Structure 1
Amino acid sequence: MRLGRHPLLHSLDRDQLAAAAADQRWPKWSTMCQLRLLGNPVLNGVCVTPDADATALPAAVEALAAATGATKLMVRSDGGVETRAYYRGGDSLPIDQIEPHAADLLAAGRAVILLEPTNRFTNQLSALLRMDRPAPGKPGTFAVEVLGAGYDVGDLTRGGIRPQLSVSIAGVTWHHYDEPWWADLHVTRDLSPKAEHARRQARLARLAPHIRTITGPGSLSDSDEASAAAEWLRTQGHVDLWRDSDPTQRVIRSVREWFEVAFLIALHHPNRNWRCLATSLSDLGARRTVYWDVVDAARKYATPDRRIV
């Protein structure tokens, strides 16, 4: 389905994806298009820019809801070069709540990215893939951080929750593909009962604001957010966080595939002088995995003299 100036992501052909990927004004959206262009699965969505007319947002909501059959949509936003205190989105909201929420973001000069909904409480695996090198043409590293069932990518990217499993490969030539050997993998696991308890408590505390977004103010106790979040999750049947699961075997089986994805991202990234790139993926369950976007560490945040306010 097309939507004038704001087409749905899954409707874009290769030329349109390439054009969107080359437009660096909205990095989250452009890198989602780049990921799809490279053959990676991404959520269907639509980007509404702050210069769009008043009809664009309701039309985008209607088109994406019709295309996906969803009664909720996820709201993300993109401010271009961000400040450290930028808006943290990713919640899936009922259709009738989307427009007032998104309108405030557009008024603040942010592009709104509407996506088909996901459930942050039921992810089966979340992984952060990182590509590093000291300079173009110099050997670098590939690193993967993983959390299993019940967590989400945000726990790794900004939640401060330590991964259950980390895998790294040294001496990577990002300008020339060399298939990694099993012996190249350096694996670190941290699944002790103490570590799992600390990780789970941090996850519960981090979920409390998201639960309030869904259920409304006053739905959780302020005195013990972690316990209140745990009770709510169990009431809703979201018990993956307490499931005894070890993602090690799955991760080891997937590392080569993830390395190939990372290599192509690095090879085609528009900043040829990149030093650190990262992408993330989620296993949403029901045999569906999606990639989110690509972050270039050098271009993520505004420098002090370019800071956006």
Structure 2
Amino acid sequence: MSDLYRPRLLHSIDRDGLAEVARDRRWPKWSTMCHLHWLGLPVLNAVCIPPQHAEDLPSAAALLASATSATRLMVRSDGGVETRDYYRGGNSYPLDEVVPHATRLLAGGRAVMLLEPTNRYINRLTVLLRLDRSGTRGKGSFTIEALGPGYDVGDLTRGGIHPQVQLSMDDVNWRCYAKPWLYDFRVSRFLHQHAEQTRRTQRLDRLATHLPGNTSADAERWLRAHGYTSLWIDSDPTMRVLRTARAWFDAAFAIAMTHPNRDWRCLATAVSDLGDGRSVYWDIVDASRKFGPGVPR
């Protein structure tokens, strides 16, 4: 069998190679990014370095930096079911800090994914797509949750921050495609002043653990000092979400039909408008394989 995890740029892998990696679940973030790219959905260019290829880390980082003309790279880790000490990545580092940071992760037995850098403070739209069904032949539902400028995917997936807009559709047959119409979606909006203030407070509390200082007030000062003020601009992403809902459903249906776990009950993926002209999908999460015992969902 070919070495699936010899480090190589995601955007350089041909369709057969993408399909082969997508079927292999040892490193689920990497395999699902390959799955998304195989489906023709936009993803960041990236490279995966498993622990057995740790010696290739410096050359892999240099290759990705050269291919993307990047002076920073994002570092994520990959390693199957999550535990309480799961590493929460997604930060971008200067090139001279990437290898030392990633080496520590590899030493812990996790794979490292290096990706094109992003700036989580300038996102224009963050969307979570959730697919549910009661059984392999049963009908299910499709849910879209969205946040406007100033937020990132972690706010919806881990931060417990309530979406500004939610679209949901019931009676979805995930085995037989039917084009949805806008009136099929139930639209809920949570844009009143108290909800907006609660979201901003939660966002600042999350950022406080990653920015200089350790309070939400410190996080706010840092953001404003660097010109990242979109969090305080009132925004309503409803119309953009409605315009794109059917395209997101089509992507979700393609994921459902081709997912290697044919017995899936809940799948999710996220989409980000990165605020710099790029919109990308992140990895696909299969809830049944996401968490280890005792880890809260």
Q: Which amino acid aligns with 1:40?
A: L
Structure 2 counterpart of 1:7: 8
Structure 2 counterpart of 1:244: 234
Structure 2 counterpart of 1:227: 217
Structure 1 counterpart of 2:148: 148
Scaled by the length of structure 2, what TM-score is found?
Answer: 0.95
Q: Which amino acid aligns with 1:298?
A: S
Q: Is the 8 A contact 2:54 2:103 kept in 1?
A: no
Query: C-alpha root-mean-square deviation of aligned residues, in Å?
Result: 1.3
Q: Which amino acid aligns with 2:180?
A: P
1:287: Cα distance to partner? 2.8
Structure 1 counterpart of 2:177: 177
Structure 1 counterpart of 2:46: 45
Query: What is the distance in 2 between the residues matched to 1:255 and 1:105?
Result: 37
Scaled by the length of structure 1, what TM-score is found?
Answer: 0.92
Q: Is 1:264 aligned to residue 254 of structure 2?
A: yes
Q: Which amino acid aligns with 1:284?
A: L
- Tell me the SS of whatever aligns to 1:293: coil
List per-residue Cα deviations over 1:125-172 (Å, max 9, x = no partner): 000000000101111000011110000000000001111010000000
1:288: Cα distance to partner? 1.4
Mapping of residues 94-173 of structure 1, within 5 Å:
94-173=94-173
Runs of 4+ in 1 over 4 A off after TM superposition: none
List per-residue Cα deviations over 1:8-60 (Å, max 9, x = no partner): 00111101111111111000000000000001000001000011142x11011
Structure 2 counterpart of 1:66: 66
Residue among 295, 300, 308 paired with 2:290: 300
Could you say if the C-alpha distance between residues 84 and 184 of structure 1 is closer, same or farther in structure 2, counting changes exceeding 3 Å? Answer: farther
Structure 2 counterpart of 1:278: 268
Query: What is the distance in 2 between the residues matched to 1:84 and 1:14?
Result: 36
How many residue pairs get matched?
291
Q: Is the 8 A contact 1:47 1:114 kept in 2?
A: yes
Query: What is the distance in 2 between the residues matched to 1:53 and 1:285?
Result: 33
| Structure 1 runs not aligned, ≥5 long | 212-218
Mapping of residues 5-44 of structure 1, within 5 Å:
5-44=6-45
Q: Which amino acid aligns with 1:173?
A: N
| Structure 2 runs not aligned, ≥5 long | none
